[in-house]
């Protein structure tokens, strides 16, 4: 049984690394015809959901904390650098990404924000 666990962990790391590499290599347009990503919840909304008030700031903050945590989980599992920032900075970078391209969905904007902050 002990020999199964290390091989499982190794396989999980390789699979996670492969997923992260694919995500990094592909353009960050989840609504494009080339890439189909199953996203649910607030992340499927266009960026204008913030400006119009259709979602409260608190809801957006809760969503981005969960989404960001998921990105960090995959990064950690695959030996990649995590983005360790506070929620206010996450939200500020998300809003900046949304101002640059308001037609994108929140998940795409958050992914771009994650990458931008992870390069610092």
Give residue 120's pLDDT: 75
Give residue 90's pLDDT: 95
Distances (CA, A) of 52 to 31, 45, 101: 21, 12, 15
Cβ-based burial of 56 (10 A; exposed 0-12, middle 13-18, buried ≥19): exposed
Give residue 10's pLDDT: 55
Give residue 32's pLDDT: 45
pTM of the model: 0.69
Give residue 3's pLDDT: 47
pLDDT in 10s for each residue of the chain, 120 residues: 444 555 555 555 555 554 555 444 444 444 445 678 888 899 999 999 988 989 999 999 999 999 999 999 999 999 999 999 999 999 999 999 999 999 999 999 999 999 999 887
Which sign, positive or negative, has the C-alpha torsion 33, 78, 98, 39? positive
């Amino acid at each position: 049984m002990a020999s199964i666990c290390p091989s499982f962990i190794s396989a999980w790391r390789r699979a996670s690394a492969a997923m992260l590499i694919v995500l990094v290599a592909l353009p960050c347009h989840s609504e494009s015809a080339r890439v189909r990503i199953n996203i649910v919840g607030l992340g499927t909304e266009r960026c204008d959901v913030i400006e119009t008030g259709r979602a409260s700031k608190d809801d957006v903050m809760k969503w981005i904390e969960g989404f960001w945590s998921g990105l960090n989980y995959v990064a950690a599992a695959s030996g990649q650098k995590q983005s360790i920032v506070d929620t206010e900075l996450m939200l500020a970078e998300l809003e900046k990404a949304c101002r640059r391209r308001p037609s994108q969905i929140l998940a795409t904007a958050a992914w771009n924000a994650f990458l931008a902050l992870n390069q610092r």
